[in-house]
Chains A and B, each alone.
Chain A
Amino acid sequence: MSSHREAPEIANDPVADSTDVYAFVSPDQPGTVTLIANYVPLQEPAGGPNFYEFGDDVRYEIHIDNNGDGQPDVTYRFGFQTQLRNPDTFLYNTGPILSLDSPNWNRRQFYSVSKVNAQGGVAQLGAGLACPPCNIGPLSTPGYPALAGAAVHGLGGGGKVFAGQRAEGFYVDLGSIFDLANLRPFQQLHNQFGMNVFTGPAPGVNAANHLNVHSIALQVPATDLVRSGASGEADPRSVIGVWTTASRQRVRLWDADNGENLDSGPFRQVSRLGNPLINEVIIALGDKDRWNTLPPAGDKQFAHYYAHPELAGLLPVLYPGVFPNLAALVKSGQARADLEAILLTGIPAGIVPGFQNSTGPLQADMLRLNTAITPAAKPNILGVIGGDLAGFPNGRRVFDDVVTVELRAIAGLTVPLVDKTFTPDKAAGQVTDGLDPSSVSAPYLSQFPYLGVPYSGFDNPS
């Protein structure tokens, strides 16, 4: 998935597993930017009695680079604490939870949020902020949207924050992609390793549908993020780079006498995510865990994965005769400057008319957002390649079809941005896993926190 269980070590640590990060100019609050970082992937909604929660022992952070050095200039830091009301019951709740301070809710979670500047100075923005409960069912969590709505907290200065369960908004046909990239809409064209199982196309299947995730969502004035003086779409100071991390203390000791883990020492990063799907399908297995521990500033060492993505070489092999121009490009050994620009430096002015989101020459995997580009009145889920400059890879909105965008880019559709002599294969403009926002059963919200109401355990699976 975007970054769900994408590396061997973090796959064993779901509460610290960054799964998706979104950054976009808020469509209903255009002077603000919304940042969303998701963790705790693939939540089966009925997974009680110990329902999903953030890790009290994990430091969650959303970072913003506004001067192109791949280091954070602004960081929002989140720390959680779980409170247990009654240790003498096995129940998460002993009756309906009608409010965030309901006495029926036994295991609650609270958090603090701080803003850290480039020099490491920390200012606390909020503390003791309540998370909503997980969506359990009509008896335990009636009126869930209002309950979760009460967990949107003001931060002052025009900011707001939410941390808690949401419906998974990322859509992807995991089953097909990891079955040797057998994309269902084109499965009859797959070489099928000679087995000839599929004779015709089939619609995609959203493997993330009816699953939940835990979101940290923040909405702040754009001026809190950009360099001072930023003015207009053409101004490089309007562009920010965004990534999220999770960190743990260096030492964990199992205190068997008390049946709990004890943590000690400095925090060290164990997960990170900027552009979607990078550590998932671009970085090789041998480097995934290390990639998760590093800041974007050092990504030059991984640039060869972007310049020569493994998937670009596989597509012509798996789909014989479908990608001849891509095959020739791969065979030539030409570095994919288009992918390096889109994912590592941003797109400079003069490439896409009226658009730039470059942060300069340093190669760093960040989700780059030109904060001066206003939200589209009629968004296109394919973002910039669909003619919508307010969508991925100019930041990322919750409904953007990043799987299709990246599949098409890797297949060669974006090569002409940097090489006018290259003609993409016809299939490069068509390849997809066959999904769109209608593949997500829980509708996106038109207001903060934008991701849909989580699926309830009582109703899912049905």
Chain B
Amino acid sequence: MRGAAGLAGAGLAAGAITGAMTAPAAASSRPVRRSADDASPAGPVIVHVRDVTSGEMDVFAGTSHARLTDPALAARLVRGIS
């Protein structure tokens, strides 16, 4: 099954949303969003299952990216949204 495109399009960019906005620079202000200049791993961790059958996945966190192959994990993620 080459389901990556369809799954990604359907939203299986499974986001484990962690962390929060950085502290405001001024007591009376708050940042509207995290700056690209401050892309720390405390931001979201996003998993893109590229191919469910082979278990090929891209994992994004902060400014890092890793490609993993774990068919069992990929299958569990798919079951999680089924």
Contact = CB atoms under 8 A, between A and B. Distances in A.
Interface of A: 55-59, 77-85, 87, 103, 107-108, 110-112, 128, 248-251, 253, 255, 260-267
B26 to A, nearest CB: 7
Nearest to B32: A82
Which of A81, A107, A266 is packed against the most chain B CB atoms within 10 Å? A81
Judged by DSSP, the binding face of A is strand
15 contacts: A56-B33, A57-B34, A57-B35, A57-B36, A77-B37, A80-B36, A81-B38, A83-B29, A107-B32, A248-B36, A251-B46, A253-B13, A262-B15, A263-B39, A264-B44
B30 interface: yes
Contact of A80 (B26, B29, B37, B48): B37
Contacts of A255: 15, 17, 44
B62 interface: yes
Contacts of B63: 249, 265-267
A90 to B, nearest CB: 15
Nearest to B60: A265
Which of A55, A57, A58, A107 has the largest count of B CB atoms less than 10 A from its CB?
A57
Contacts of A263: 34, 36, 39, 43-44
Given A264-B61, A266-B65, A56 B43 contact: no
B80 interface: no
A255 B63 CA distance: 18
Q: Please provide the 8 A-B residue pairs with the shortest distance between their CB atoms, ordered closest to farther.
A: A79-B37, A265-B60, A83-B29, A81-B35, A264-B60, A82-B32, A262-B44, A264-B46
Nearest to A85: B29
Contacts of B60: 249-251, 264-265
Contacts of B62: 264
A253 B29 contact: no
Contacts of A110: 25
B55 to A, nearest CB: 19
Interface in B10-64: 13, 15, 17, 24-26, 28-39, 43-46, 48, 60-64
B49 to A, nearest CB: 13
B13 A251 contact: yes
B15 to A, nearest CB: 5
A56 B44 contact: no
A80 B64 CA distance: 20
Interface of B: 13, 15, 17, 24-26, 28-39, 43-46, 48, 60-65
Contacts of B43: 262-264
Nearest to A101: B26
A278 B60 CA distance: 34
A238 B44 CA distance: 45
Contact of B35 (A77, A80, A264): A80
A253 B32 CA distance: 16
B32 A264 contact: no
Contacts of B33: 56-57, 82, 260-261
B21 to A, nearest CB: 10
Contacts of A78: 37
B52 to A, nearest CB: 18
Contact of B65 (A85, A87, A107, A265): A265
B32 A79 contact: no
A103 B27 CA distance: 12
B82 to A, nearest CB: 20
A323 to B, nearest CB: 47
A345 B32 CA distance: 43
Contacts of B13: 251, 253
B36 A83 contact: no
Contacts of A111: 37
A14 B17 CA distance: 27
A85 B32 CA distance: 10
A84 B61 contact: no
A260 B65 CA distance: 22
Given A59-B36, A83-B24, A112-B37, 12 more contacts: A59-B37, A81-B32, A83-B32, A85-B29, A87-B30, A108-B29, A249-B60, A253-B15, A253-B44, A255-B15, A264-B60, A267-B36
Contacts of A266: 63-65
Contacts of B65: 250, 265-266
B42 to A, nearest CB: 11
A253 B36 contact: no
A262 B17 contact: yes
Contacts of A265: 46, 60-61, 63-65
A260 B33 CA distance: 8
A55 to B, nearest CB: 7
A245 to B, nearest CB: 13
A81 B31 contact: yes
Nearest to B62: A264
A260 B20 CA distance: 13
B44 A81 contact: no
